[in-house]
Amino acid sequence: SGPVGLLVAAGSGSRLGASIPKAFVEVAGRPMLEWSLEALRAAGIGDIVVALPDGAVAPAGVIGVRGGATRSESVGAALAAAPGSGPIVVHDAARPLVPPSLFADVLAALEHADCAIAAARVTDTVKEADPDGAVVATLDRSKLWAVQTPQAFRREALQAALSVDAAILARATDDAWLVERAGGTVRVVESSPANFKITTPHDLQVAELLLRQRG
């Protein structure tokens, strides 16, 4: 069967600091969640499960589930409600600028991997420092990727990767890492920094300007 989209929207948005959960904060006149849903639909993904904060109402035409305490638990809750048996594509509600073609790109890359993730080449030099600020190492930038969503998975690979302790799930900032841990193969699919995640008030300002231009 066809791919199922899992849209994770259950976070509180503590770093954004708004008075409502982040996915419901308006950007250019619409909740962030609606822009992300529109992109999934434009990509031809009709089966969509949304992980929502406690008490939130699911948008029309999607399956709503209550999210978990961590991002991976929210993915797990959404996966449990996914219809069919086709591949899964996970997307953050907090990336409303995603180009619809990126969903097809990551799904196509599953031909050669258990998991395929959108990622942008790192443009800053990245250093590792100790807690005092003393530099320990400078990483080789040419090999570094800043990971985004969408992330596509063979369904069995995602199911197996999520079948671990809550303590491990809590450490996962992305689901691809869980597939790596489980011994699965993960590939990057080159994406643009324009598909950034709205995390801080600055990100929200930039997204507002860009989405207003779109009309």
Which residues bind to ligand CTP, rule: CB under 6 A? Answer: 8-15, 22-23, 51, 67-71, 74, 92-94, 197, 199
Length of the chain: 215
Output 59-67 pairs: Cβ under 8 A, ≥24 positions apart: 59/33, 59/34, 62/7, 62/37, 66/10, 67/8, 67/9, 67/10, 67/11
Find the residue with minimal CB distance to ligand CTP.
11
- Choose between 135 and 167: whose C-beta lies nearer to Mg ion: 167
In the complex with Mg ion, the residue whose CB is nearer, 110 or 169, is 169
d(CA 44, CA 110): 17
Q: How far is CA 71 from the centre of its chain?
A: 9
The distance of closest approach from Cβ of residue 14 to Mg ion in the complex, given in angstroms and rounded to an integer, is: 7
User: Peptide bond preceding 87: is omega within 30 degrees of 0, i.e. cis?
Assistant: no
Subset of 4-63 contacting Mg ion (CB under 5 A): 11
Shortest Å distance, C-beta 15 to Mg ion: 7
CB of 207 vs ligand CTP, minimal distance in Å: 13
Specify the residue, 5 or 11, whose C-beta has the smaller distance to Mg ion.
11
In the chain, the N- to C-terminal Cα span, in Å, equals 34
Residue 109 binding target from Mg ion, ligand CTP, none, CB below 5 to 8 Å by type: none
| Residues at the site binding Mg ion, with contacts judged by CB under 5 A | 11
